[in-house]
């Protein structure tokens, strides 16, 4: 039996935690399991590295950011491997490059193109626990790359897909809940959740799983178990689901923070400008969402959309290039917003969810700026001040 296990930053935040993980790994190895262990950078290391980079330069080169961020995971793999070796366990650490993780795309947002598992296979066959640095890889030019925040999940699931095995994600919560338990402590623990719903919840802000990792799991049929790294409690399986006879209309709620809303007003009503704006954003790999275009009485249009606030500086410089050329057009951006979304595949067949939420909001003085829907979700952008109330109202009403 072979398993890929992943331990997130808080689970390897100090040596004591690493020692307790090493203990469990050693036991499983003795039982004959082949183990590939993916680890993240310790605690808040990635954030600290990023803020140092921003102190060093207002707009640091993304190649250098990757160079820097990759060190975080390397500290973890080396330490965990030393601890295992100290226990007499055969173990070896591998960087993304040594693990054969080939990536493509722009620095800091790379995607895994392929994995050459021969090095990992070789060590497994020789009885080693293979400890792989999460979140990093190398590109065709031989540069070190990273996979975007939360990317160790992606590393782990992609390795499990390549090695044809299950993936266990260990973190600081004991599984997936209807709502982030830190936001809504009464949230319902789930024994299992479908890929589809988990993917939607993750894309809409449930940071417990990196969204692309769930996409990979679904495409390759990798079963994921999410559980607590240090507590012995039952976790959650992410897998293809059977249909319940009576499906819930909503399974979960996610909150996406750290977003920005962009509004461009007095844009001449010529679709070429809109096309130009989105082409330029796409070239920078900036994802946008909730696009709306409203015609104004003066014949102009107001265009608005949301995007990740991580991209704020880049976004503003790209948009100014276009907007400054158009007389009268005005650009405003705000980060004082967030997005609350409900997710559930039951919404395909059950109507009335949006109506119920509109009513809840109306009765409780919650105003929202935009609404968008997908087949299995409804999202509302609103001012940050409404977060707690909106979450509680919806979670209570739908028993999440
Ligand atoms: P790691 O460092 O292990 O990758 P993350 O911080 O990325 O951990 O993800 C775990 C966090 O995800 C939890 O601490 C929890 O607050 C948050 N979270 C958000 N939504 C959910 C949810 N629906 N169920 C469980 N945890 C959630
Ligand atoms: N260390 C990286 C991050 O903080 C990757 C990860 O933890 O998954 O985003
Ligand atoms: Mg994470």
Q: How confident is the model at residue 215 (pLDDT cuts 50, 70, 90)?
A: very high
Q: Are 5 and 153 in contact (CB under 8 A)?
A: no
Q: What is the DSSP string of 266-294?
A: EEES-HHHHHHHHHHHHHTT--EEEEEEE
Cα 303 to ligand 1 centroid, rounded to whole Å = 33
Q: What is the DSSP string of 303-344?
A: EEEEEEGGGHHHHHHHHHHHHTTSTT-EEEEEEEEEEEEEE-
pLDDT number for residue 322 = 86
Which whole number is the average pLDDT over 43-71?
96
What are the Cα distances from residue 308, in Å, to 7, 72, 205, 342? 26, 23, 11, 19
**Pocket lining: 9 vs ligand 1, CB cutoff 6 Å:** yes
Which ligand approaches the C-alpha of residue 73 most closely? Answer: 2
pLDDT number for residue 160 = 98
pLDDT number for residue 182 = 96
Instruction: Look at 233 and 351; give whichever has higher pLDDT.
Output: 233
Cα 151 to ligand 2 centroid, rounded to whole Å = 6
The answer, yes or no, to whether residue 314 has pLDDT greater than 90, is no
- Torsion angle in degrees (nearest 10) through CA of 357, 190, 211, 163: -160
**Pocket lining: 135 vs ligand 1, CB cutoff 6 Å:** no
Strands laid side by side in the 224-228 sheet: 91-94, 129-133, 34-39, 2-7, 166-171, 224-228, 236-239, 192-194
Could you report the per-residue pLDDT of 127-170, keeping only the tens digit for each?
999 999 999 999 999 999 999 999 999 999 999 999 999 999 99
Which ligand approaches the C-alpha of residue 7 most closely? Answer: 1
Q: How confident is the model at residue 246 (pLDDT cuts 50, 70, 90)?
A: low
Cα 8 to ligand 3 centroid, rounded to whole Å = 6
Which ligand approaches the C-alpha of residue 189 most closely? Answer: 1
The answer, yes or no, to whether residue 24 has pLDDT greater than 80, is yes
Which ligand approaches the C-alpha of residue 12 most closely? Answer: 1
Please state, rounded to an integer, the average pLDDT across all residues of the chain: 94
Cα 200 to ligand 2 centroid, rounded to whole Å = 20
pLDDT number for residue 58 = 86
The answer, yes or no, to whether residue 272 has pLDDT greater than 90, is no
Q: How confident is the model at residue 268 (pLDDT cuts 50, 70, 90)?
A: confident
Which ligand approaches the C-alpha of residue 226 most closely? Answer: 1
The answer, yes or no, to whether residue 392 has pLDDT greater than 70, is yes
Spell out which residues line ligand 2, taking CB within 6 angstroms.
8-9, 40-41, 46, 72, 134-135, 149-153
How far, in Å, CA of 69 to CA of 37, rounded? 19
Could you report the per-residue pLDDT of 277-301, keeping only the tens digit for each?
899 899 888 889 889 888 999 889 9
Q: Give nearest CA residue, ligand 2 atom 5.
A: 150
The answer, yes or no, to whether residue 243 has pLDDT greater than 80, is no
**Pocket lining: 227 vs ligand 1, CB cutoff 6 Å:** no
Could you report the per-residue pLDDT of 82-132, keeping only the tens digit for each?
999 999 999 999 999 999 999 999 999 999 999 999 999 999 999 999 999
The answer, yes or no, to whether residue 227 has pLDDT greater than 60, is yes
Cα 309 to ligand 2 centroid, rounded to whole Å = 18
- Torsion angle in degrees (nearest 10) through CA of 216, 220, 223, 229: -40
How far, in Å, CA of 190 to CA of 248, rounded? 13
Cα 287 to ligand 2 centroid, rounded to whole Å = 20
Which range scores top for mean pLDDT: 88-102, 230-244, 262-276, 306-320?
Answer: 88-102
Report residue 334: phi and psi, to 5°: -140, 145
Pocket test for ligand 1, best of 5, 149, 184, 207 (most atoms within 8 A of CB): 207
Q: Are 75 and 45 in contact (CB under 8 A)?
A: yes
Q: What tokens were used for 23?
A: 């203990």
What are the Cα distances from residue 133, in Å, to 80, 210, 243, 377? 11, 16, 37, 34
Pocket test for ligand 2, best of 37, 45, 46 (most atoms within 8 A of CB): 46
Cα 206 to ligand 1 centroid, rounded to whole Å = 7
The answer, yes or no, to whether residue 237 has pLDDT greater than 90, is yes
Q: Give nearest CA residue, ligand 1 atom 4.
A: 8
**Pocket lining: 344 vs ligand 1, CB cutoff 6 Å:** no
How much of the chain exceeds pLDDT 70, in percent?
98
**Pocket lining: 249 vs ligand 1, CB cutoff 6 Å:** no
Which whole number is the average pLDDT over 203-213?
96
Q: Give nearest CA residue, ligand 2 atom 8.
A: 150
Which whole number is the average pLDDT over 350-377?
93
The answer, yes or no, to whether residue 270 has pLDDT greater than 80, is no
How far, in Å, CA of 239 to CA of 86, rounded? 36
The answer, yes or no, to whether residue 245 has pLDDT greater than 70, is no
CA-151 nearest atom, ligand 2 = 8
pLDDT number for residue 244 = 57
pLDDT number for residue 269 = 78
């Amino acid at each position: 039996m072979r398993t890929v296990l992943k331990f997130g930053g808080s689970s390897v935040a100090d040596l004591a935690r690493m020692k307790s993980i090493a203990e469990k790994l050693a036991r499983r190895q003795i039982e004959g399991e082949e183990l590939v262990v993916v680890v993240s950078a310790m605690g808040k290391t990635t954030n600290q590295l990023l803020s140092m980079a921003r102190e060093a330069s207002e707009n640091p080169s993304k190649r250098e950011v990757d160079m820097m961020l990759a060190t975080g995971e390397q500290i973890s793999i080396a330490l965990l491997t030393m601890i295992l070796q100290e226990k007499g366990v055969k173990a070896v650490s591998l960087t993304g490059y040594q693990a054969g993780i080939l990536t493509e795309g722009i620095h800091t947002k790379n995607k895994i193109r392929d994995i050459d598992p021969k090095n990992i296979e070789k060590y497994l066959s020789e009885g080693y626990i293979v400890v792989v640095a999460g979140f990093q890889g190398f590109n065709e030019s031989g540069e070190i790359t990273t996979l975007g925040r939360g990317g160790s999940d992606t590393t782990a699931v992609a390795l499990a897909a390549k090695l044809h095995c299950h993936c266990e994600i260990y973190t600081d919560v004991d599984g997936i809940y209807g709502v982030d338990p830190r936001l809504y402590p009464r949230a319902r623990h789930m024994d299992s959740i479908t890929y589809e719903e988990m993917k939607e919840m993750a894309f809409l802000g449930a940071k417990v799983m990196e969204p692309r990792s769930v996409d990979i799991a679904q495409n390759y049929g990798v079963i994921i178990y999410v559980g607590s790294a240090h507590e012995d409690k039952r976790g959650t399986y992410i897998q293809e689901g059977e249909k319940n006879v009576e499906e819930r209309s909503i399974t979960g709620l996610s909150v996406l923070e750290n977003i920005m809303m962009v509004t461009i007003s007095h844009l001449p009503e010529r679709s070429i400008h809109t096309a130009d704006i989105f082409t330029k954003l796409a070239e920078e790999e900036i994802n946008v969402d909730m696009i709306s275009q409203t015609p104004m009485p003066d014949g102009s249009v107001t265009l608005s959309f949301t995007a990740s606030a991580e991209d704020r500086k880049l976004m503003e410089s790209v948009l100014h290039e276009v907007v400054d050329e158009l007389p009268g057009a005005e650009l405003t951006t705000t980060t004082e917003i967030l997005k609350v979304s409900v997710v559930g595949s039951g919404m395909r067949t059950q109507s009335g969810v949006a109506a119920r939420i509109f009513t809840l909001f109306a009765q409780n003085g919650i105003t929202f700026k935009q609404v968008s829907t997908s087949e299995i979700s409804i999202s509302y952008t609103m001012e940050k001040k409404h977060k707690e109330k909106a979450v509680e109202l919806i979670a209570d009403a739908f028993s999440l």
